[in-house]
């Protein structure tokens, strides 16, 4: 693993880019804030905690999805991947560097949500620690699923449309912004194909908003491992 | 030294891009010249360990491109065709990131990146996001990466495609500053003539001809190209509406009076004479 490369890439592409492209950061914050607003209005404040927790998950997972789409863009349009293949770094280095860069891009959004969460008094020490672990899990899981999906893309013109579809299907449909308990069991199990569902279920359990679904833990771990392996395999690092 | 033996590449869609080509590359600057789809990029991607061949062998400094790819990557730099810098990042950031990917320390990467940017006159733009730079300067970022890396062998795949004439000259002068052996592809004949000691002409996955620019053009000594769009003109070679005839220089005046446009011989004429995809 080339930590120097991962570090410089994350610093330059993830952190320094924030001030050069603030519109992207604002758009990634705005999207869950709109949900927070709508959910608060329609539920008369009843589901505001779900919306805040869901906002965190949504920001991290949406950025993880866009890291996969950006990687496809860099492979197909900028030829960045070809440039790096001949340097000796491996696909895992590049994936991790890209994922961490997008995590860095998530930081301003997470800060906004942290302030909202503190103002609402929803954070306890144990639940917050558990939530940080879950956010890292959702980052890894969504990155893996995103790299898997975008590994199939062969034309630049499809990247952004598919990124939009994937982000809606993975971050809005699953119970990120609403209690997982209101979903019919069969539908919940279908949604659990996405690691975001498992993380949302566990986060709602950790904050005492819904019963703790312990069975989601092994599901989440297995999903992260399987999607990571498929994502690296499909990355076509050195093409045949 | 690069040794290529019976190199063959057939893609899964059936495209037979390289058809068992064999040659060695041992000059300071070798140009692989050919039209779009000739197999140049496939060749470069195999040589720079980005793509696996279907059969045949490639050895770079004695190292096999399949089993010893990791060792080869320490010795080469490969700049892909149509590579573009990441718009958010500055030239300095690109170079440091690239050098760190090659295993250089952060301190050394800063020194080498600064040196290369100064040498290529990109220093003044070192902290400018690259989406604000001109096309020529964007391409020079990649040449600077190659310069800073101090690699033994550098592969440049169509480094000036799409650039305006002035930017091309700017990139050519940057390429001339590179150390190590360079293998460059292009479909610009004048680029091969300007830069290289050795020219390899490829078409449809095969090598058509090879030599110095002078030796390849030897057969045209004392000749010129006469072009006309007249449909009644007798010509051996027809490209679109243009009819081409090769004439002795002494006949140039006579042909000019008949309405032909007389042009000096260039490497283009080698392709025309080979009858590449031309009605003859």
| From B78, B84, B106, residue closest to A8, measured CB to CB | B106
Does the structure show a pLDDT above 50 at B279? Answer: no
Using the predicted structure, report yes or no on whether residue B137 has a pLDDT greater than 80.
Answer: yes
Do the chains contact at B101 and A13, CB–CB below 8 Å? no
Joined together, the tokens standing for residue B214 give 């002078």
In a domain, A170, yes or no: yes
The pair of structure tokens assigned to B163 is 């650039």
Q: What is the pLDDT of residues B84-107, one digit of tens each?
A: 999 999 999 999 999 999 999 999
Contact A86 B51 (CB under 8 A): no
Closest partner residue to A12 (CB to CB) among B69, B89, B142 is B89
Contact B80 A83 (CB under 8 A): yes
Q: How many domains does chain A have?
A: 1
Percent of residues, chain B, with pLDDT higher than 90? 51
User: Does A70 reside within a domain?
Assistant: yes
Predicted confidence band at A196 (pLDDT cuts at 50, 70, 90)?
very high
Task: Supply A198's token pair.
Answer: 């498992």
Neighbours of B242 (CB within 10 A): 13
Q: Do A78 and B50 touch (CB under 8 A)?
A: no
Q: In this predicted structure, what is the pLDDT of residue B275?
A: 61
Please give the Cα distance from B161 to B159 (Å, whole number).
6
Q: What is the pLDDT of residue A33?
A: 85
pLDDT at B276: 52
CB-count exposure of residue A212 (10 Å: 0-12, 13-18, 19+): middle
Residues 6+ apart with CB under 8 A from B43: B7, B18, B21, B32, B185, B202
Q: Residues of chain A with pLDDT > 90: what percent?
A: 47
Respond yes or no on whether ipTM tops 0.95.
Answer: no
Nearest CA in chain A to B88: A17
How far B273 CA lies from chain A's nearest CA (Å)?
35
List CB contacts (< 8 A) between A20 and chain B.
88, 129
Token pair for residue A173?
């449909």
End-to-end Cα separation, chain B, in angstroms: 39
**Domain range holding A20?**
3-234
Read off the pLDDT of residues B197-230 as tens digits, 9 standing for 90 and up.
Answer: 899 989 889 998 898 888 888 888 899 999 998 8
Contact A9 B88 (CB under 8 A): no
What is the fold, at CATH topology level, of the domain defined by B2-216?
A: Rossmann fold (3.40.50)
Nearest to B182 by CA among B26, B18, B22: B26
Chain A nearest C-alpha distance from B35 (Å): 21
Is residue A181 in some structural domain? Answer: yes
- Chain B contact for A19, CB < 8 A? no
Average of per-residue pLDDT across A70-98 = 89
Is B153 an 8 Å CB contact of chain A? no
pLDDT in tens, A29-51: 887 888 888 988 988 888 899 98
- pLDDT band of residue A210 (cuts 50, 70, 90) is very high
Q: Is A80 part of the contact surface with chain B (CB cutoff 8 Å)?
A: yes
- Give the Cα separation of B85 and B102 in Å (integer): 17
The phi, psi pair for B71, rounded to 5°, reads -65, -40
Does B81 contact A at CB distance below 8 Å? yes
Assigned domain for A239 exists: no
Q: Supply the pTM of this predicted model.
A: 0.84
- Residue range A75-84: mean pLDDT, rounded: 89
Helix (H) or strand (E) holding B81: none
pLDDT > 50? residue B278: no
């Amino acid at each position: 693993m080339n930590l120097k490369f991962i570090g410089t890439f994350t610093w330059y592409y993830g952190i320094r880019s924030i001030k050069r492209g603030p519109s992207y950061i604002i758009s990634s914050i705005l999207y869950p804030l709109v949900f927070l607003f709508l959910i608060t209005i329609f539920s008369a404040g009843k589901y505001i905690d779900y919306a805040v927790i869901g906002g965190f998950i949504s920001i991290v997972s949406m950025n993880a999805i866009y890291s996969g789409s950006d990687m496809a863009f860099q492979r197909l349009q900028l030829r960045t991947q070809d440039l790096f293949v001949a340097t000796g770094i491996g696909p895992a280095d590049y994936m991790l560097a890209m994922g961490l860069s997008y995590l860095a891009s998530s930081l301003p959004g997470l800060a906004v949500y942290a302030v909202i969460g503190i103002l609402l008094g929803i954070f306890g020490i144990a639940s917050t620690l558990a939530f940080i672990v879950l956010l890292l899990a959702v980052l890894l899981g969504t990155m893996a699923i995103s790299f898997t999906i975008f590994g199939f893309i062969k034309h630049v013109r499809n990247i952004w449309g598919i990124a939009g579809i994937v982000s809606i299907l993975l971050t809005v449909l699953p119970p990120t912004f609403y209690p997982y308990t209101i979903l019919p069991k069969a539908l919940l199990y279908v949604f659990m194909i996405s690691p975001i569902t498992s993380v949302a279920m566990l986060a709602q359990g950790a904050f005492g908003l819904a019963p703790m679904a312990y069975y989601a833990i092994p599901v989440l771990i297995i999903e992260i491992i399987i999607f990571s392996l498929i994502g690296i395999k499909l990355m076509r690092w050195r093409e045949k | 030294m690069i040794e290529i033996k019976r190199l063959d590449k057939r893609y899964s869609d059936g495209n037979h891009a390289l058809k068992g080509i064999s040659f060695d590359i041992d000059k300071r600057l070798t140009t692989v010249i050919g039209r779009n789809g000739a197999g140049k990029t496939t060749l470069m991607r195999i040589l720079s360990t980005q793509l696996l061949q279907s059969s045949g062998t490639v050895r770079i400094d004695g190292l096999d491109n399949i089993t010893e790819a990791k060792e080869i990557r320490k010795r080469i730099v490969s700049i892909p065709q149509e590579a573009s810098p990441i718009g958010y990042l500055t030239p300095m950031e690109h170079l440091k990131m690239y050098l760190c990917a090659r295993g250089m320390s952060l301190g050394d990467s800063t020194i080498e990146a600064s040196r290369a940017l100064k040498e290529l006159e990109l220093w003044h733009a070192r902290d400018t996001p690259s989406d604000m730079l001109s096309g020529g300067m964007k391409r020079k970022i990649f040449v600077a990466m190659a310069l800073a890396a101090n690699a033994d062998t550098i592969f440049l795949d169509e480094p000036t495609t799409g650039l305006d004439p002035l930017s091309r000259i700017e990139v050519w002068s940057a390429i001339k500053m590179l150390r190590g052996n360079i293998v460059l592809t292009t479909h610009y004949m004048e680029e091969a003539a300007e830069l290289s000691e050795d020219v390899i002409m490829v078409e449809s996955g095969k090598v058509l001809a090879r030599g110095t620019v002078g030796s390849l053009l030897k057969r045209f000594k004392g000749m010129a190209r006469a072009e006309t769009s007249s449909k009644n003109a007798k010509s051996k070679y027809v490209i679109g509406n243009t009819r081409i005839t090769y004439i002795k220089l002494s006949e140039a005046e006579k042909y000019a009076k008949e309405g032909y446009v007389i042009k000096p011989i260039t490497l283009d004429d080698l392709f025309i004479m080979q009858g590449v995809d031309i009605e003859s």
